[in-house]
């Protein structure tokens, strides 16, 4: 999926959840494009990550209507990031350990 496809999907998710009655469609499109452009080009915390988090929250909300309060929905992004980041950090740590296992600490160039 291209970055612009993700913008279109993000727009769909937003309008599906909140509608367009209170929002200007062109302003929302510009907003999502601006968010995409302002993400840094780093390996992990980038536009693709942001889209995946948004999509995960969207899927949770759509599959469990009426369960979450607005504040819980807002805080769900932080929890999703913590869970995903923890997995990434542990995976990277395991790679480092496997790389340097059996070598003296002084020899390790961490």
Please give the pLDDT value at position 88: 52
Q: Is 16 exposed, middle or buried (0-12, 13-18, 19+ CB in 10 A)?
A: exposed
* Residue 77 appears among annotated catalytic residues: no
Enumerate residues 6+ apart whose C-beta is below 8 A from 28. 11, 14, 15, 20
Residue tagged active-site, from 45, 49, 52, 77: 45
pTM: 0.62
Q: pLDDT 10s per residue in the chain (110 long)?
A: 999 999 999 999 988 888 888 888 999 898 888 888 888 888 777 888 888 888 888 888 888 888 877 667 666 655 555 555 555 555 555 565 566 555 554 444 44
């Amino acid at each position: 999926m291209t970055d612009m496809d993700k913008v279109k999907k993000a727009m769909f998710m937003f309008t599906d959840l909140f509608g367009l009655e209170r929002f200007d469609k062109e302003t929302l499109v510009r907003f999502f494009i601006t968010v995409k452009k302002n993400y840094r080009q780093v390996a992990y915390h980038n536009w693709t990550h942001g889209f995946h988090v948004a999509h995960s929250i969207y899927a949770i909300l759509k599959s469990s209507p009426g369960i979450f309060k607005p504040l819980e929905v807002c805080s769900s992004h932080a929890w999703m990031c913590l869970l995903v980041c923890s997995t990434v950090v542990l995976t990277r740590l395991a790679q480092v350990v496997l790389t340097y296992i059996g070598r003296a600490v002084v020899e390790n160039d961490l």
